Amino acid sequence: MAVNSPRGTSDIFGQDIFYRDFVIDRVRELFKIFNFEEIITPAFEYTEVFSRSIGEATDIVKKEMYTFCDRKGRSLTLRPEGTAAVVRAVIEKKMLDSKSLPLRLFYIGNMFRYERPQKGRMREFWQVGVEALGRKDPLIDAEIIWLLNEIFTRIGFRNLVLNINSMGCGKCREKYTEKLKEYLGEVFNSLCTDCQRRFAENPLRIFDCKIDNCRKIAAKGPKISDFLCGECSDHFMEVRSALTGLSIRYTIADDLVRGFDYYTGTIFEINSKDLESAQNALGGGGRYDNLLSEFGGPDMPAIGFALGLDRTVMLMKELGMQYIPAEKRLKIYILPAAGLDKPYFINILKVLRDAGMTCDIDYGMNSIGAGIKRASKKGFDLALIIGEDEIEKGTVAVKELKSYRQYDLGCKDVVEKIMEITGVK
C-alpha cells in the first residue's frame, strides 16, 4: 500500500532546509538585537483559547480549526496561530512584571488550518512571530513595524510594500460599523454567501474575503480613518511620525483590516509585489489591547506580528535569491577496508568530530573507487582511506575529492595536517 503525506502538508528536506535555516538565523539575530526572548508553546491548546480570542464567528474558528476530543472528552485544538497561545502562557506563568515592561517574546512554530491547499497556503504551515506586552507607547508600535520591515530587508527582499492602518478602539469601530453596514446593505446581493453571513456577524471581515469582488465592494465604502476618536487618531499619528523618523516608507491602506477579533488600533502588513495579488502578504500584525484582560489577566495592552516562513522561502526561490551558507566546515568521508580493527578508525572519527569537522563512515564499502564516488556525490571535501597498510604505519591516506591529490598523514597530527592542506580552520 502506498503511504503518502496528508493533503496540505509537505516534507521539508534538502535545499529547503538551508533556505529555512538562513531565514531563521536572520530573524534570531534580529530578535537578539531588539532584545526579544524565545517562548515555545504546545502545538495544541484547549479549544477555548482560540475560540475566545480569534472570535467564534470567524472562518478560522467555524471552518478551519483542527479540533478533537481527548480520551476524557476535553476539546483540544491544534494551534491555528501563535498569539493566543503566547497570551495564555504569559498569564498562566505570571510573566508580566510591571517593573520591566514591555515583555518581549518571539516564537517559531508550526500552525494548522483546514483550508483548501494552494500555492503559499498549506494546512500545516510555519510562522515566526513576536509579541510585546504591557505598554501602549506609539513608539513600540513603530518599533515592532520596524522589526518586521528589517527582517525582510536583511533577507534581501526589495519589491515590498508596507501597509498600515488603525482599526481604532471599540467606540470608534462601533460608529464605523454602523455606517459600513448601511453602505453594505445597499449592495448586499452582490456579496458572496460567506460575506452575507459576515454582514450580520462582523462586516469588517468582508475586507479579508478571498473573493476579489467582495473586497472591492468593501473598499468603496466608508473609511474607518474618518471615525477614529481623538485618542486613537493621535496615537496613529505618532506611530506614523516615528516611522518617518526611522526612514521607513509606508502606505496608509484604508481597506486593511485583520481577520481576528482581538485586533485594536494600529495594524500593518508587508506585501510582495512579486507574488500573486491574492497571496502576496508575507507578514503582518497589530495591537490587541484587550486580549490579556479577556483571558483573565491584567488590563494591559500588547502588539505583535507573524510572518509566514514557508511563503518567505517560496518567494526567495521564485526570485532566484540565494541563501548564504553557514560557516564552512570540512566534510570528511572515512573509507575503512572491510574487516579492519574498528577502534582504529573510530578513534580517528572521534578526533575529527571533536575538531568540529563533519564526518561520516562508508559502512558498506565494497571498493575504494565506489566509495570515493559516493563521497563526491554527497558533497564531501576529503576521503580518508584506511587499510591494513595504514594501520601498520599508524597513518591515514587523505584524498582531496576535487583535485584528487592524495597525502599520507600521521594519525597523531591528522587534524592539524588536514587544516594545513585545505586552508580551512
Comparing 17-31, 37-51, 83-97, 411-425, which segment has the lowest mean pLDDT?
411-425
Higher local confidence (pLDDT), 72 or 362: 72
Q: Which of 42-51, 58-67, 197-206, 220-229 is predicted most confidently?
A: 42-51
Comparing 60-74, 289-303, 342-356, which segment has the lowest mean pLDDT?
342-356
Q: Report yes or no: 90 and 138 within 8 Å, Cβ to Cβ.
A: no
What mean pLDDT value characterizes the chain?
Answer: 89
Query: How buried is residue 85: exposed, middle or buried, by Cβ count under 10 Å (0-12/13-18/19+)?
Result: buried
Higher local confidence (pLDDT), 151 or 345: 151
Confidence grade of residue 322 (pLDDT, cut at 50, 70, 90): confident
Record the cell numbers describing residue 390, joined without a space: 595504514
343 Cβ contact list (under 8 Å, min separation 6): none
Higher local confidence (pLDDT), 82 or 379: 82
Domains of the chain with bracketed CATH: 15-169+229-318 (3.30.930.10), 331-422 (3.40.50.800)
Q: Report yes or no: 160 and 273 within 8 Å, Cβ to Cβ.
A: yes
Confidence grade of residue 1 (pLDDT, cut at 50, 70, 90): low
Q: Report yes or no: 302 and 289 within 8 Å, Cβ to Cβ.
A: yes
Average pLDDT over residues 160-177: 90
Average pLDDT over residues 143-172: 93
Sheet strands side by side (includes 67-69): 44-46, 75-78, 67-69
| CA angle, residues 108, 49, 207, in degrees to nearest 5 | 80
In the chain, the percentage of residues whose pLDDT exceeds 90 is 52
Higher local confidence (pLDDT), 350 or 303: 303
Q: Which of 127-131, 183-187, 188-192, 390-394 is predicted most confidently?
A: 127-131
Above 60 in pLDDT, residue 187? Answer: yes
The amino acid at 197: R
pLDDT digits (tens, 9 = 90+) for 350-386: 888 888 888 888 877 778 888 899 899 888 999 999 8
**Which of 391, 387, 392, 358 lies closest to 375, judged by CA?**
358
Higher local confidence (pLDDT), 261 or 29: 29
CA-atom Rg of the chain in angstroms:
28
pLDDT of residue 276: 67
Above 60 in pLDDT, residue 278? Answer: no
pLDDT digits (tens, 9 = 90+) for 108-148: 999 999 988 887 789 999 999 999 999 999 999 999 999 99
Average pLDDT over residues 372-401: 89
Average pLDDT over residues 200-220: 85
Q: Which of 181-195, 198-212, 339-353 is predicted most confidently?
A: 181-195
313 Cβ contact list (under 8 Å, min separation 6): 16, 19, 20, 23
Above 90 in pLDDT, residue 228? Answer: yes
Instruction: Give the three-state DSSP class for 42.
Output: coil
Report which secondary-structure segment, H or E, holds 112: strand 103-112
pLDDT of residue 279: 63
Confidence grade of residue 174 (pLDDT, cut at 50, 70, 90): confident
Which residue is it, cell 518586521? 148
Which residue is it, cell 483546514? 114
Average pLDDT over residues 389-395: 87
Half-sphere exposure of 254 (CA within 13 A, CB side): 14
pLDDT of residue 166: 95
Dist. CA 410–CA 139, nearest whole Å? 62
**Which of 161, 166, 142, 135 lies closest to 239, judged by CA?**
142
pLDDT of residue 61: 85
Record the cell numbers describing residue 385, joined without a space: 582511506
pTM: 0.85
Q: What separation, in Å, do the N-terminal and C-terminal C-alpha atoms of the chain show?
A: 49
